[in-house]
Homo-oligomer: A and B are copies of this chain.
Amino acid sequence: MEIQEILNQVKSGGLSVEDAEKRIKSRSFEEMGYAKLDMNRKARTGFAEVIYCSGKTDEHLLNIFKKLYEEEGEVFGTRATPEQYAFIKKHYSESEYDPLSHIIKIEKSGKKKIGKIAVCTAGTADIPVAEEAAQTAEYFGAYVERTYDVGVSGIHRLFSRLDKIQDANCVVAVAGMEGALASVLGGLVEVPVIAVPTSIGYGASMKGLSALLTMINSCANGIAVVNIDNGYGAGYIATQINRLGVRE
């Protein structure tokens, strides 16, 4: 019995208040349409669902792609292989693929980009992760300023472009190897810095763990860290922060 029906029966006297209370309290969580946990993702968070393509079979990927596209009129997938794109392309010729960030998408045109997120990298090898962050933020409606290859080994490059970074609502600092960029940025801006360690490096970089530790131990204020190579996660939280900073 639906709640409505229970209530109708209470109203009509077909069900006692006691029985009605018991039935209501014992029913399943979902069925209750429980307000606080209403999980229509987009309604709740303002973010549509995204596909993590890595490891998915072609058919599985296509099904999710189709379902999301139908729901949203656009769709966004991370960590897609060129092979996955070739397959999707056959069904959705309007889909696009960026071989650098490994993002596959169909995006509505004319989306407004609000606020400003600055995405910075230490080296050129960090750009794929940075692009995953930047394009994620753009897909979710943020304006993104890219500042790449400004690592600490040539710190003048960073300073010469500081203007464009300092007026963002949030900075995403992407760096591998020793990951010092996040600390330097943390000392130069007044907004939150989301640090993304990358797996770029060799030897004692331990596939990004060293950069992760550097960033977690930063002596600068206003820095928080996401997982190694997690451009998507950085783009997501940066978008959340950026939205807060936009006066509409």
Residue ranges of A at the interface with B (Cβ–Cβ < 8 Å): 3-4, 7-8, 10-11, 13, 17, 20-21, 24-26, 28-37, 39, 41, 44-47, 55, 122-123, 125, 151-157, 159-160, 162-163, 166, 169, 177-180, 183-184, 186-188, 190-192, 194-195, 197, 199, 201-230, 233-234, 236-237, 240-241, 244-245, 247
In the bound complex, CA of A240 to CA of B238 (Å):
13
A187 in complex: contacting residue of B28, B35, B153, B226, CB < 8 Å = B153
A178 in complex: contacting residue of B28, B33, B39, B215, CB < 8 Å = B215
Number of copies of this kind of chain in the complex: 8
- Complex contact A240–B190 (CB within 8 A): yes
In the bound complex, CA of A169 to CA of B125 (Å):
32
- Complex contact B202–A229 (CB within 8 A): yes
- Complex contact B35–A17 (CB within 8 A): no
In the bound complex, CA of A4 to CA of B23 (Å):
12
- Complex contact A183–B192 (CB within 8 A): no
Residues of chain B with a CB closer than 8 A to A241's CB = 192, 241, 244
